[in-house]
């Protein structure tokens, strides 16, 4: 396994995305998959988001809007409601979130927002290999498992990118903070329902 420590610290933003009552997660691109000794591949499932780029002018919220539009097809500002402020901030080392990066010194800092996608149509991935749209109960079940997740655990919820002929991994690992799980456990109390909490 090769660990890329080119960037020692990343500042970014992540969306805790809800669509039609389901949790929406992203399957990271193939360059971030792991090839194991048994010839199986492991892909990373995470919340949707990424690093703050120069065009975002230092705004984690603007970075999230850009990332959402890059990673999910046909999203515009009218179909997204994003909390005006982060729900929480997370700072950690990659090795704390990903057991395949035990030697990494990469430090990740991200603002986490709640995003509601107001779109009746099914979602489709844009530049991701796939997205996972899963009911809250199924998401909590995944989060309660130890170690890797088998393909059968997510097969029924995977929306594959039709434009890319990619063979999906047999196994997956979650890179999702416990705070996200806790948020969904306390769904009614924690996710803002008041419109003032969201901005277009």
- pLDDT tens sequence for the chain (200 residues): 444 445 578 899 999 999 999 999 999 999 999 998 888 899 999 999 999 999 999 999 999 999 999 999 999 889 999 999 999 999 988 888 888 898 888 999 999 999 999 998 899 999 999 999 999 999 999 999 988 999 999 999 999 999 998 999 999 999 999 999 999 998 755 555 555 565 55
**pLDDT at 9 (0 to 100):** 87
For residue 168, the 8-state DSSP code is P
**pLDDT at 3 (0 to 100):** 44
25: Cβ contacts below 8 Å, ≥ 6 apart = 17, 45, 46, 47, 48, 131, 132, 133, 134, 139, 176
Angle between helices 136-143 and 178-185 (to 10 degrees): 140
**pLDDT at 39 (0 to 100):** 85
Cα dihedral 190, 123, 81, 177, rounded to 10, equals: 40
d(CA 56, CA 108): 18
**CB-facing half-sphere around the CA of 151: CA atoms within 13 A:** 10
Tell if the pTM clears 0.85, that is, is over it.
yes
**pLDDT at 198 (0 to 100):** 55
User: Phi, psi at residue 73, to the nearest 5°?
Assistant: -70, 145
d(CA 51, CA 40): 29
**pLDDT at 144 (0 to 100):** 93
Cβ-based neighbour number of residue 9 at 10 Å: 10
**pLDDT at 5 (0 to 100):** 46
What is the domain partition of the chain in residue ranges? 10-190
**pLDDT at 188 (0 to 100):** 52
Looking at domain 10-190, does it have CATH number 3.90.1150.10?
Answer: no
């Amino acid at each position: 396994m090769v660990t890329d420590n080119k960037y020692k610290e990343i500042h970014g933003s992540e969306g805790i995305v809800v669509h039609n009552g389901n949790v929406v997660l992203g399957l990271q691109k193939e360059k971030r998959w792991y090839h194991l000794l048994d010839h199986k591949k492991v892909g990373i499932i995470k919340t949707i988001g990424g690093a703050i780029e120069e065009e975002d002018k230092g705004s984690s919220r603007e970075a999230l809007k850009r990332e959402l539009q890059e990673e999910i097809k046909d999203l515009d500002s009218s179909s997204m409601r994003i909390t005006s402020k982060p729900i929480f901030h997370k700072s950690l080392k990659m090795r704390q979130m990903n057991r395949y990066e035990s030697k990494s010194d990469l430090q990740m800092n991200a603002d986490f927002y709640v995003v509601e996608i107001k779109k009746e149509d099914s979602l489709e991935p844009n530049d991701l290999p796939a997205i996972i749209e899963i009911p809250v109960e199924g998401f909590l079940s995944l989060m309660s498992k130890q170690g890797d997740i088998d393909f059968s655990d997510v097969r029924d919820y995977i929306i594959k990118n039709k434009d890319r002929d990619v063979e999906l991994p047999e196994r997956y690992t979650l890179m999702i903070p416990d705070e996200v799980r806790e948020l969904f456990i306390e769904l009614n109390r924690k996710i803002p329902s008041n419109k003032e909490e969201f901005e277009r």
